[in-house]
Amino acid sequence: MYAVFEIAGQQFKVAKEDKIYVPRLASEVGAKVKFDKVLMIGDERQTRLGTPYVTGATIEAKVLGHVKDEKIMVFRKKKRKGFKVQRGHRQQYTQIEIIKVS
């Protein structure tokens, strides 16, 4: 069984025991979280689509850890003006493991 669900405006396709990175959640490591914004659920026999969400469908997951992505350098410069700014950014993610799709 697989499902497509939404977190923070992004859609993820998952199945049981999948490990994925999602935008940072406010949950502690080891905590269980539930997601109810399920857009689609399917298996070998049938597929259920939501309008916009499937009623009664939930996804349970366990928080494995919080990580940061690689650093992205942001550089701005104006020629012949002596202006330059260099900044770095690291996006924060949460790694979760899907426990149950129902």
Residues in the chain, overall count: 102
pTM, two decimal places: 0.84
Q: What is the pLDDT of residues 37-71, one digit of tens each?
A: 999 999 999 999 999 999 999 999 999 999 999 99
| Residue 68, pLDDT score | 97
Instruction: Identify the residue whose tokens are 């979760």.
Output: 96
Q: What is the pLDDT of residues 1-31, one digit of tens each?
A: 999 999 999 999 999 999 999 999 999 999 9
Report yes or no: 102 and 58 within 8 Å, Cβ to Cβ: yes
Single-letter residue type at 67? V
Helix, strand or coil, per DSSP, at residue 50:
coil
Helix, strand or coil, per DSSP, at residue 49:
strand
Helix, strand, coil: what percent of the chain each, to 5?
A: 0, 60, 40
